[in-house]
A = this chain, B = another copy of it.
C-alpha cells in the first residue's frame, strides 16, 4: 500500500455518499457526522459529480455549507436524492463514503447501495473504522466486477513503517503542525488554509495527511490513530521524509487530537515526535471551556498551551515555536470575535484570527513560517 490510494482519484468522477446526514436538518442534530463530506467538498481537487442524500431538502452543496464553500469549485454541486439517478447522470466511477453512520453500524440501505455500486464496477473509498473488505458481500461483489475497495484507515502494510527515531529533525525546511487546546476544533482546516496560501505564493508545499478525511482529499497518507502504538510516530516521520526526498519545500502536517484531550493525546504526541515540527499553529475555540473528552478537563489559557506544546517536541533543541493562534469562531458575534482576537494578540504578540473568515490572518501567519 505504501500509504497511497490504489485508485487515482484524478482519473475518475466521484460521488460523495452522505445518506441522511448531509442536509441542514440532519446537521442540526449531528453536526460532526458529515465532516468528511464537508472537507472533501472544500479542499479536494479531483472531479466530483455530486452528493447523495435522499433526506436533504437542499439541492446544492452551497445551500447547506454557505460561506464554507465560498470561492470553491464544488460549491454548485448537486445533492441527489437517489443514488442510482446520481450514478446515471454523473457517470461517476467512484463512491466515497463521506459520513459515519449513526452508532457506527452500516444501515441496511447503505449496504444495498454499496453492493449495487460494486456490482456496477464502481470503486469504493471508505474511512469507516472497520474494513469494508471484511464484509463478505462487499468483497464478493468487488471481486466479480473488479472494483477496488480502498479502506483508508486499515489498508496499511506495517512492514514499510519504521519505528520513529526523530529523523525529521535533519530536515531544515518548514514543517508546520497544527495543535489544539482541544480535539475537534478544525485543525485540518487551518492546515489546509495555510497550505493553499503557500501554494498560491508558488512554494512547492504539501499536506501530510494523518486522518481519514485528509487522506481521502489527498489520495494518500496514514490514519495515525488506526496504527499500532509503536508505529504511530514512525508513520508521520516516513511521510515527511518521502516528501522531502521529492524536494518539497514546506510540509503542512494535519494535526490530531490534543494534549488536553485525555483519550486522544497519544495521537497528538506521536505527531509532535514524528514530525519534529519547526513551526506550530495553535488552534482554539473560544466558546469551548472544557475538553470534549472530559468535563473534568478545563482547557488551558493560550500562553499555557503555547508553553506546553513547545516543550513537548523532541529533540528539544529543535526550538519549534507557536507562530500563530487560529480561532474557530463559529457561533460567535462579530464583537466577541474582535474582543477575543485583540485579547489573545495582546497576550501572545502573535497573529490571531479565523483561517476561514480572515485571509489576512492566514497571510500574516504564513509570513512567520516562510
Q: Does A228 contact B (CB under 8 A)?
A: yes
Query: Whole-angstrom distance from the CB of A369 to the nearest CB of chain B?
Result: 23
For the complex, give the distance between the alpha carbons of A295 and B314 in Å: 11
| Minimum distance in angstroms from A85 CB to a CB of chain B | 37
Q: How many Å from the CB of A291 to the closest CB on chain B?
A: 8
Tell me whether A266 is interfacial, beta carbon within 8 Å.
yes
With A308-B311, A312-B259 given, is the CB distance from A266 to B297 under 8 Å? no
Q: Does A121 contact B (CB under 8 A)?
A: no
**In the complex, A212 has a CB within 8 A of chain B:** no
**Inter-chain contact B273/A164, CB cutoff 8 Å:** no
Could you say which of A48-56, A184-192, A229-237, A340-348 contacts chain B? A229-237
Task: Judge if A354 is at the interface, Cβ distance under 8 Å.
Answer: no
Count of A residues near B, CB < 8 Å? 43
A259 to chain B, nearest CB (A): 7
Closest to A307 in B: B311
Q: Given the complex of chains A and B, what is the CA–CA distance between A230 and B261 in angstroms?
A: 11
Are B265 and A270 touching (Cβ within 8 A)?
yes
Answer whether A296 and B315 are a contact pair too, CB < 8 Å, given A166-B262, A262-B166.
yes
Contact of A262 among B233, B264, B266 (CB under 8 A): B233
A214 lies within 8 A of chain B by Cβ: no
Considering the complex, which residues of chain A in the window 257-282 have a beta carbon less than 8 Å from any beta carbon of chain B?
Answer: 259-260, 262-267, 269-270, 273-274
Closest approach, in angstroms, between the C-beta of A283 and any C-beta of chain B?
18
**Closest-CB distance, A75 to chain B (whole angstroms):** 34
Given A296-B315, A297-B314, A314-B297, A165:B263 Cβ within 8 A: yes
Please give, as numbers and ranges, the residues of chain B lying within 8 Å of A228 by CB-CB distance: 225-226
Interface flag for A169 (CB, 8 Å): yes
B265 touching A273, Cβ below 8 Å: yes
CA distance A312 to B300 in the complex (A): 12
Partner pick for A269 among B230, B266, B314, CB 8 A cutoff: B266
A349 at the interface (CB under 8 A from B): no
Task: Evaluate contact between A232 and B266: CB separation under 8 angstroms.
Answer: yes
- Asked if A359 lies at the interface with its beta carbon under 8 angstroms from chain B, I say no
- A10 in contact (CB, < 8 A): no
Q: Which residues of B contact A287 (CB under 8 A)?
A: none
Check if A294 is an interface residue, CB within 8 A of chain B.
yes
A227 to B317, CA, bound (A): 32
Does A31 sit at the interface, judged by CB under 8 A?
no
A229 to B169 Cα, complex, angstroms: 25
A294-B262 contact, Cβ under 8 Å, with A226-B228, A229-B232: no
Contact B314 A262 (CB under 8 A): yes
Which residues of chain B are near A266, meaning CB under 8 Å? Answer: 229, 232-233, 266-267, 269-270
22 contacts between A and B (CB under 8 A): A166-B262, A166-B293, A166-B294, A166-B296, A166-B297, A225-B228, A225-B230, A227-B229, A229-B264, A230-B264, A232-B263, A232-B266, A234-B263, A262-B314, A266-B267, A266-B269, A269-B269, A291-B314, A294-B314, A294-B315, A297-B315, A311-B311
19 more CB-based (< 8 A) A-B contacts, given A165-B295, A262-B314, A298-B316:
A164-B262, A164-B293, A165-B263, A166-B294, A166-B297, A167-B296, A225-B228, A226-B228, A230-B264, A233-B265, A259-B269, A262-B274, A265-B270, A265-B314, A266-B266, A266-B267, A291-B314, A296-B314, A298-B315
